[in-house]
Structure 1
Amino acid sequence: MKIECVVPSHSKVGEGAVWDDRAQCLWWVDIPAGLIHRYDPVTRENITQDFAEPVGCIAVRDAGGLVVAARSGFWLFDPETGKRHHLADPEAQLPQNRFNDGATDLQGRFWAGTMKDGGVPEPQGRFYCLDTDRTVHPWKDGIYTTNGLAFSPDGRQMYFSDSNPKVRRIWRCPYDPQTGTPGEPQEFFDTRSVAGRPDGGTVDAEGCYWMAGVSGWQLYRLSPEGEVLQIIDMPVEKPTKPMFGGRELDTLFVTSIGIDLAEGSDQPDAGGLFAITGLGIKGLPQPRYAG
């Protein structure tokens, strides 16, 4: 196994990694800087665009371009032309909130969650589904830091987490692919048993859940039963989002945070994008937003 910093970007909050299997590139963001990155692992070129406001997460659209969950809600964005189209701001009444983590279900619905941005943390985050007809449906509220959204290989289980130190748990719930409706959440994994708190997540081809252990210097591979199968020590304190990519979907890309680090810690690549090879594990093609 090899861990390499492929983009030493020193991002404030690198996040939102999603693999584009058609363009063979990795899209990712720097949340507070409002930057959207496009990394080509063949040429190693990383192209950056300024979205002009904090960007929590993105997904590739089936019709081309991206769907973006930003501070002011959901947008369609064409990276080629820079054209933006605002869809909805479901939390216009909460100016302190912004979108954070997201994922697309197998039917092309885009799920994303919000959180309070700055100040004393409060449980005012909520999950939303941007349906394929571009309507927005709220779901579970009372979350400090919405995170960890991912779906099982058959699309019938949805994962999510709350990263706040008071909570630091991952849940799983049954998911109806036809209606896009989650069932009752059940606790999947309590991260107080490991060093890192739950940040972004993804699911591999074997149905195992990968969690970035923010503030714990580690990644975790969890079985569908919630057992720790593998721990990977990272060269940075705050890994944030794992995502499988590459032509064979066997490279694990990991974003990271470059600010508010432990005093005196040696992590010159904090905030960079990492690539892990030699795992012997493959990921799943990422669904595209169908709206």
Structure 2
Amino acid sequence: MINSTMVTEFLLVGFTDKWELKCLNSMLFLLMYLATLMGNLLIITATTLDQNLHTPMYFFLRNMSILDMCYISVTVPNACVNSLTDNRVISVAGCATQIFMVIYCAYVELLFLTIMAHDRYVAICQPLHYPVIMSHRFCVWTTLASLFSGLLYAGAHTGNTFRLSFCQSNVVHQFFCDVPPVLRLSCSDTSSNELLIIVSAMGVCGGCFIYITMSYVRILSTVIKFSSRERGKAFSTCVPHILVVTVFLTSITYVYLRPSENTETVQDMILSVFYTIVPPFLNPIIYSLRNKQVKEAVRKTLLRKFYSRK
């Protein structure tokens, strides 16, 4: 990596240069970060301690919560420290590590969302076959496949990015290291990188989006036959999932597939928030804390901790 670049460090860009707005932005990010950690930690604890929640759906919710805690920790703490200390410098190795972790977490997040859509489809459309299809073996193997394939996916993109030479500006127009803004700094031919992004986006994002869409089309066609009460319950669980997937895929697709010759704007930084910070922040609320069983398990967990301190 060192031999292939003349740049030894990068400079990240914040949302604003005004100190008051920096503090406000950092406080907002910090509050979202702490809320995300607290919400996901409660879900992990509740779904682990409550034996009634040891089912495939909550198995994936627990895995999603662990992933979301890691995902938001890749970008937010560093962004807050950089903003408050006005230290925008990040080493090439640090930038490569951040890119690897962001891609890895985003990839696994998308696969988990797809698996959860499959889980909902089986639970609603094939309830009698649910224990067989969503067996513990299936849950473990799909999780391991997502985690290990993510290493290959993130490694390919990161390695393909940092084989390039960077001899122009070292200012990354983003509050964290990401592939598109880093590619714009290269003085090498980036056509193969852009081709890899397009192919992987069509294969992974496109494939997952099609599968999720097909799953929900089948779910909705089945839900229509339910009574009004059951229909409303099914819609209340499915619509938020569709919303998160749509926001996640739309924002990440726009940022990654936008033509590289376009100028950098604050719009890119705002959109990046929607695929790096918003999903981990909203997932505990959408998938778990609106669920009566999870809320009851969380209440028992909090009461257990309260009485244990006494």
Q: TM-score category by the smaller chain?
A: under 0.3
> Which structure shows the bigger proportion of residues in strand conformation?
1
TM-score computed with the length of structure 1 as normaliser: 0.24
> Which structure shows the bigger proportion of residues in helix conformation?
2
TM-score computed with the length of structure 2 as normaliser: 0.23
Structure of greater relative contact order (alpha carbons < 8 Å, 6+ residues apart)? 2
